[in-house]
Chain A
Amino acid sequence: MDRNYSQDLLIAIERADRAGANAVIQAWAAGRDFRQVVPELLAPVLETFGKVWATGHGGVSLATGYVASKIAEDVLTRLLQEAKDSGSVLPVKGPVVLGNVEDDFHPLGRKMVAAFLRADGWDVRDLGVDVSAAEFVDTAEASGAKVIGASAMMYTTAKNVAKIRQEIDRRGLTGKLQLAVGGAVFKLRPELVADFGGDGTAASAVEASTLFETLRQRALTLDSPAGGLHP
């Protein structure tokens, strides 16, 4: 009987079993092109895992999500090494900018999002903690990123998302540069996403890539001549 690698990988992730997950991936890759591991195995499994995580009823702890991000990092590390060894280049979806908002010093969630985004092919420009609104937008403009991801854990710091919104609007980038927000406070109070000027959020770090793709497409549409933002 053929082994159900997806099921085995999901079980390992849900058990926060990093070594077990890597063993499943290793077994899957035997005789296969490792570059297909993300689209054929990891991404679908993470999508399923993300849905369980997002419901909040699957017993998924922060640590389990963290281990999932480490597994994604492990895969990316191997992909990068293989690309380096073979002289090939990994496909890149495009640049995105990440950071914790001004006065926020809680990096874990942001780092997990960065790991999942990188594993899914995004060129992540991670600015770290306590990032000013100007630095977010400067980096997006310089890199050509269409999406900023701003993380905040608490209500008091989440208010600083509004400064990024204002900076985007002040520079005439409304719609052309989308603002994704995340962090514990937005999960607890989803209405704050709109209140502070966010364009969207994801229910878990795993789902960030889908959100960023949606926002990037929206930005491209709004930035096109038919999108109505050009004079």
Chain B
Amino acid sequence: MNSFERILATLQNQPTDRPPFFLNASLYGARLTGASLDDHYTQAALYAEGQMAIRDVFSPDLLTSPFLVPAIGEAFGSSRRDHPRQAPNISGFAAQSAEAMLKLPLPDVDSHPRLVYLRETIRILAAKYAGEVPIIGVLVSPLDIPPLVIGLEAWLDALLFEPAVAQALLDRLTPFFVALAEAMFSDGATAVALTANLANKDIVTPDVAHTLTLPCLRTALAELPGLVIFHHGGCPLVDQLVRFKGLPNVAAYVLDAGENLGAARQALGPGPVVMGNLNGPGLSDLQPGDVQALCDRAFAQRGEDRQFILSTCGADIQIDTPPECLAAITEAVCRAGGVEA
């Protein structure tokens, strides 16, 4: 079975030769290529080389475009700060309020350099791995775009105290989000992965979620012409799956680190794939044996559930993570499937 067949079988609840797995190794690719992070996060071919190296060394079943949501903020005019050991971050916002953001032009998904960079990585990887490895386009839902452009505080101000302005901004951002996702699918993405933190009850009030953000999310996802992976975005997800299950086109849910896979299945019922629950950024502090134990725990939790992808969650795997820790995940899935690593 190749990775594409393995993931397809998982989606269809069919048996696989070994459990599929995913590493959030967007940053880690630079470690394998030796590229500077400045180049890694601006040159699509270099980034794609990193993903190819990840594939060659660790054999994950999914590869991704850059886990670089600040690039979407940059497309609206926010400034970024590069860092030698981690992914760039937003250092200055393009506007100061939701009302001001309403007046910003929407970026052109076909010509803005930062969006072209993201898309080009998908085109390169999709051409290389057509029919062999699914490629995931990484973006954020419309709800999570304003924090990249005006900051979370200004966005909360709008959601909490100026709901009409917030609604207008969500209405304006939804077509942009749909256009970017459609472009990623046309570039060869098998699915897109996104966060929806501003619909999470750990972040917003139930009123904001029910009246503003969840309806927007449903509308936006319904317009996508392909599959969606719903990422926990740093918040616990299991006890909120009842609210999020059944979202249009969502084929998989990525849980937070350590969240119970069996409980997730119980909440979701049959159908969607459950992904998790290894702490990606925390792998750097572990020994390979510890990682093996975490993988074994995850497999024990999933039981007979075939619709499961062992995955790192949280943010990127850190660049100083020993490769032996990532190899331990590869070895764990091979051992679980009774195949050679």
Known: A63-B203, A63-B205. 6 other contacts (CB 8 A): A16-B205, A62-B203, A62-B204, A63-B159, A103-B89, A108-B152
- The distance in angstroms between the C-alpha atoms of A67 and B161, with both chains bound, is 10
Report 20 cross-chain contacts, Cβ distance below 8 Å, ordered by A residue: A15-B205, A18-B161, A61-B203, A61-B205, A62-B202, A63-B159, A63-B160, A63-B203, A63-B204, A63-B208, A64-B205, A66-B160, A103-B83, A105-B81, A107-B153, A108-B152, A108-B153, A129-B91, A155-B282, A156-B85
- The distance in angstroms between the C-alpha atoms of A18 and B161, with both chains bound, is 9
User: Does the CB pair A105–B91 fall under 8 Å?
Assistant: yes
- A154 CB–B CB distance under 8 Å: yes
Q: Which 3 A-B pairs have the closest CB atoms?
A: A156-B86, A16-B205, A63-B204
- Find the B residue at minimum CB distance from A159: B85
- B315 CB–A CB distance under 8 Å: yes
Given known pairs A103-B89, A130-B81, the reply for A155 and B203 (CB within 8 Å) is: no
| Complex interface bits, B184-211 against A, C-beta within 8 A gives 1, otherwise 0 | 0000000000000000011111011000
- A216 CB–B CB distance under 8 Å: no
Contacts of B201 in A (CB 8 A): 59, 61
- B281 CB–A CB distance under 8 Å: yes
User: Does the CB pair B89–A155 fall under 8 Å?
Assistant: no
Contacts of A61 in B (CB 8 A): 201-205
User: Does the CB pair B90–A18 fall under 8 Å?
Assistant: no
- A146 CB–B CB distance under 8 Å: no
- The distance in angstroms between the C-alpha atoms of A59 and B205, with both chains bound, is 9
Partner of A111, one of B81, B89, B91, B153: B153
- The distance in angstroms between the C-alpha atoms of A155 and B314, with both chains bound, is 11
Interface size on A, residues (CB 8 A): 22
User: Does the CB pair A154–B208 fall under 8 Å?
Assistant: no
Contacts of A154 in B (CB 8 A): 281, 315
- B151 CB–A CB distance under 8 Å: yes
| Complex interface bits, B35-77 against A, C-beta within 8 A gives 1, otherwise 0 | 0000000000000000000000000000000000000000000
- B234 CB–A CB distance under 8 Å: yes
Given known pairs A103-B81, A156-B86, A156-B318, the reply for A63 and B156 (CB within 8 Å) is: yes
- A37 CB–B CB distance under 8 Å: no
User: Does the CB pair B153–A16 fall under 8 Å?
Assistant: no
Residues on A facing B (Cβ under 8 Å): 15-16, 18, 59, 61-64, 66-67, 103, 105-108, 111, 129-130, 154-156, 184
- Find the A residue at minimum CB distance from B87: A156
Most central of B83, B151, B160, B161 by chain A CB within 10 Å: B160
Partner of B89, one of A15, A63, A105, A107: A105
Given known pairs A16-B205, A62-B202, A64-B205, the reply for A105 and B90 (CB within 8 Å) is: yes
| Complex interface bits, B81-101 against A, C-beta within 8 A gives 1, otherwise 0 | 101011001110000000000
- The distance in angstroms between the C-alpha atoms of A64 and B156, with both chains bound, is 10
Contacts of A18 in B (CB 8 A): 160-161
User: Does the CB pair B282–A16 fall under 8 Å?
Assistant: no
CB distance from B156 to the nearest CB of A (A): 5
CB distance from A186 to the nearest CB of B (A): 14
CB distance from B272 to the nearest CB of A (A): 25
Given known pairs A18-B161, A61-B201, A105-B81, the reply for A66 and B156 (CB within 8 Å) is: yes
- The distance in angstroms between the C-alpha atoms of A61 and B151, with both chains bound, is 17
Q: Please provide the chain B residues from 82 to 132 with a CB less than 8 Å away from any CB of chain A in the complex.
A: 83, 85-86, 89-91
CB distance from B327 to the nearest CB of A (A): 22
CB distance from B281 to the nearest CB of A (A): 5
Contacts of A107 in B (CB 8 A): 151, 153
- Find the A residue at minimum CB distance from B207: A16
CB distance from B19 to the nearest CB of A (A): 27
| Complex interface bits, B144-187 against A, C-beta within 8 A gives 1, otherwise 0 | 00000001110010011100000000000000000000000000
User: Does the CB pair A155–B281 fall under 8 Å?
Assistant: yes
Q: Please provide the chain B residues from 278 to 312 with a CB less than 8 Å away from any CB of chain A in the complex.
A: 281-282
CB distance from A126 to the nearest CB of B (A): 13
- The distance in angstroms between the C-alpha atoms of A61 and B236, with both chains bound, is 12
CB distance from A145 to the nearest CB of B (A): 24
Contacts of A108 in B (CB 8 A): 151-153, 156
- Find the A residue at minimum CB distance from B235: A62
- The distance in angstroms between the C-alpha atoms of A18 and B204, with both chains bound, is 14
CB distance from A49 to the nearest CB of B (A): 14
Contacts of A16 in B (CB 8 A): 160, 205, 207
- Find the B residue at minimum CB distance from A112: B153
Contacts of A62 in B (CB 8 A): 156, 202-204
Contacts of B204 in A (CB 8 A): 61-63
